[in-house]
Structure 1
Amino acid sequence: MNNSNFPLRALIVDDEPLARSNLAVLLARDAGILLVGQCSSAEDALAVIPVAKPDLVFLDVEMPECDGFELLERIGPSPDFAIVFVTAHHQFSLRAFEVGALDYLLKPFDDQRFERVLARVKERLRVPGETRRFIIKNGSTLDVVKFSDIDWIEASDYYSTLHAGDKTHMLRRSLADLDMLLAPQGFCRIHRSAIVNLDRVRALEIREDGEYEIVLQCAQRLRMSRRYRKQILKQLGSTLDNFHPGVRN
């Protein structure tokens, strides 16, 4: 993503010509936006995105053959652009946030609604990381879980369980997906079934059987695979040469 913040490179992906035209007109009014392309299908978008290198994509949910969510699945986890979903159906809003969208526009929308959404998106992209969070459905409520509040994450079949203090949250995303998303935010894979927030690591210990353990500030102990040992020590600013077994209390 463009680190210079502005102008933001925007791409429109929508199968409706009128919808693309309306978005293009609205975006043209903002000097902080550079429209780098318009795509009428997911296939077009797959070809254009690597070339146009957008910072921000306005993505229609319902498109023939391949919808917006399927397009993101084909692109892969942690795309290098922000997403604003455009949809005529309110029920897609939750799923939009679950896949990491910054915002969504509900069709039909007026100029004021568009301007409010664009202002929020620009502000969030101006200060990356401050709005990094998951929004997770919990019964009739939506839980907001900041990345920085997460202690560790464990794999749970097709879901992942986020541990944040004394609370847990089930998220329908694979651990591999979350690993790619959270690695730039200071998280590290320690085992095939666990990721930790490195800011929450209190100590590293070697057990009597030679296995490595990570001790978190919340007192949770997690086994560390030897496969990830060098990576973890490097990210913690240590080396194998000066790493010695911890002492249990």
Structure 2
Amino acid sequence: MSKKIRTVVVDDEPLARRGLLVRLDQFEQVEVVAECSNGRDAVTRITETAPDLVFLDIQMPGLNGFEVLRALSQSMSQMPLIVFVTAYDQYAIRAFDVRALDYLLKPVDEERLAAALERIELAMVNVSEKEQQHKLVDLVAEMTGEDGEDILRRLADGESLRVDDYPEHIAIKESGEITRVAISAIEWVDAAGDYMCIHADNETHILRRTMKELEKELNPKSFQRIHRSAIVNLNQVQKLCSRQNGEYHLILHNGEELKVSRSYKDKIKQLILGR
């Protein structure tokens, strides 16, 4: 095969990442174009480099492997081929074998790596096989991805990959404690730098997540953006008011008044009138 396999390696463990890179260096057909130590960097670098292949660790802090896939499926028109790297052999073998997704167990075995690369080369020239893997990867990417091991267990047990239900609670870690906040109790959310302020039951909780990440866990039938950095629970809205200057404000049942930006004004009016 004359074409190089442009490859990205993603693993938060430096030794594991270095070990895989050393093994890949023995394969002339592989060109490593980037290595990433966390999920957020992986999404950026993979989107920028558009590689043919990604060796993707599953269990990483921040964004795990499944969450990385979900983000990539939203930002890329053509997904790279994926080889999962995992230490969870309890579920991984059955979970991935039954769905024809390739995987490597840590520590990576050289023969197993060679076999995986052979399949990758075939997939790169076999369009139907490549398209099939893309479909499977897209299914995995729809998982909520909060816990890699739990997802592997669900895959191995044959549970549906599609997630249509939204969580009923959100776990928020503050000062060494974890508080479970009911999603229905959330009144509104606003961004404060790298943090989210979750306002629920007249209390404010600080969540270390981005607005975009949090929005994916909230049912859009109930939660809508009203500003670039604010989301409101429509069930908590008492009325929509217009001001003389043309601005619109939402009044919540708790008395809180929130400004609606111009770009969201028409959508919010439509949603409020339709309720």
Give TM class, smaller chain: 0.5 to 0.7
Q: Aligned-pair distance for 1:136?
A: 1.1
Residue equivalent to 1:109: none
- State how far apart, in whole Å, the 2-side matches of 1:237 and 1:161 are: 27
Task: Return the letter of the residue paired with 1:23.
Answer: Y
| Offset, 1:183 | 5.3
Contact 2:226–2:261 under 8 Å retained in 1: yes
Superposition deviation, residue 198 in structure 1: 1.0
Letter in 2 for 1:82: T
**Matching residue's letter, 2:224:** C
- State the Cα distance separating 1:230 from its structure 2 match: 1.3
Where does the alignment leave 5 or more consecutive residues of structure 1 unmatched? 1-10, 57-78, 87-102, 106-113, 240-249
Amino acid at match of 1:39: Y
Residue type of the partner of 1:128? D
What's the RMSD between the two structures over aligned residues? 3.9
In structure 2, the residue matched to 1:39 is 103
* Counterparts of 1:104 and 1:124, CA distance in 2: 9
User: Which deviates more, 150-159 or 171-180?
Assistant: 171-180
Q: 1:12 to 1:215 in 2, by over 3 A?
A: farther
- Equivalent pair of 1:151/1:165 in contact (CA under 8 Å): yes
Residue 175 to residue 236, structure 1, CA distance change in 2 (3 Å): same
Give CA deviations for 1:159-182 in whole Å, capped at 9, x if unaligned. 110000111111111223333443
Q: How has the CA–CA distance of structure 1 residues 184 and 218 changed in structure 2, closer, same or farther, with 3 Å as cutoff?
A: same
Matched, 1:85 2:148: yes
Please tell me whether the aligned partners of residues 134 and 147 of structure 1 are also in contact (alpha carbons under 8 angstroms). yes
Corresponding position: 1:128 with 2:165: yes
Between stretches 131-140 and 141-150, larger displacement belongs to 131-140
State the shift of 1:205 in Å.
Answer: 0.3
Describe how 1:64-143 pairs up with structure 2 within 5 A. Answer: 79-83=141-145, 84-86=147-149, 103=150, 128-129=165-166, 131-143=167-179
Are residues 1:166 and 2:202 paired? yes
Larger Rg: 2
The residue number in structure 1 matching 2:227 is 191
**Per the alignment, in what secondary structure is the counterpart of residue 220 of structure 2?**
helix
Residue 6 of structure 1 corresponds to none
- Paired residues of 2:172 and 2:179 also in contact (CA < 8 A): yes
How far does residue 185 in structure 1 lie from its aligned partner after superposition? 5.0
Cα deviation 1:141-198 (Å, max 9, x = unaligned): 2111222221000110111100001111111112233334435352111112211011
Q: Of the candidates 84, 88, 91, which is equivalent to residue 23 of structure 1?
A: 91
Counterparts of 1:233 and 1:40 in 2: how far apart (Å)? 51
1:156 paired residue number: 192
TM-score between both structures, scaled by the size of structure 1: 0.54
TM-score, scaled relative to structure 2: 0.50
CA contact (8 A) 2:189 2:197 kept: yes
Kindly tell me: are residues 231 and 126 of structure 1, through their superposed partners in 2, closer, same or farther at Cα, counting changes over 3 Å?
Answer: closer
- Flag structure 2 segments of 5+ consecutive residues without an equivalent: 1-81, 106-119, 121-129
Question: Which residue is 1:68 aligned to?
Answer: none
Could you tell me whether the CA contact under 8 Å between 2:144 and 2:163 is conserved in 1?
Answer: no
Give me the whole-angstrom Cα distance separating, in 2, the residues matched to 1:145 and 1:124: 25
The corresponding residue for 1:224 is: 260
Does the CA contact (< 8 Å) of 2:86 and 2:92 recur in 1? no
1:14 matched to 2:95? The reply is no
User: After superposition, what is the alpha-carbon deviation per residue over 1:35-68, rounded to whole angstroms, capped at 9, x for unaligned?
Assistant: 3413349xx9xx9874314555xxxxxxxxxxxx
